Amino acid sequence: MKKLFWDYLIEVEEIKVKLDKHGMVKEESYHLLKVAHDTFNLKILDEVLSYLPKEKHKEFLKELDEKPDNPKLLEVLKKEVEDIENKIKEVVKNVKQEILEKIEEITD
């Protein structure tokens, strides 16, 4: 998995604990955590692009592709989008809740 500049906002420990609680084997747990991480990334990117002015999309995506872990990308976003860090945190919170609920559904 590529490291992204927003990774520090994603906390998956609660998801790991829930998977362990339901007796997931290591391979299953790893696969589900990868799916969870991919889901976080897609939802965050969607949120970022929904607020970022369209004329900035191409440049932002190019920079994200070239240096996905560059913390300066967040600084660029902060200049363009008011309160973007909290918007990302809200997405993370909602996605984590959805994932935890899905784990409950599939393990009941």
Delimit the domains of the chain by residue range.
Answer: 7-107
- Beta carbons of 1 and 42 less than 8 angstroms apart: no
Residue 17 pLDDT more than 80?
Answer: yes
Mean pLDDT computed over 68-89: 96
Q: What is the DSSP letter of 9?
A: G
The predicted structure's pLDDT at residue 47? 98
Q: Which residues make Cβ contacts (< 8 Å) with residue 56, sequence separation at least 6?
A: 80
- In the structure, what pLDDT confidence band is assigned to residue 1 with cuts at 50, 70 and 90? low
Mean pLDDT computed over 61-65: 97
Mean pLDDT computed over 81-90: 97
* Token digits of residue 97: 């809740």
Q: pLDDT of 24-55, one tens digit each?
A: 888 988 999 999 999 999 999 999 999 999 99
The predicted structure's pLDDT at residue 2? 79
Q: What pTM was computed for the model?
A: 0.91
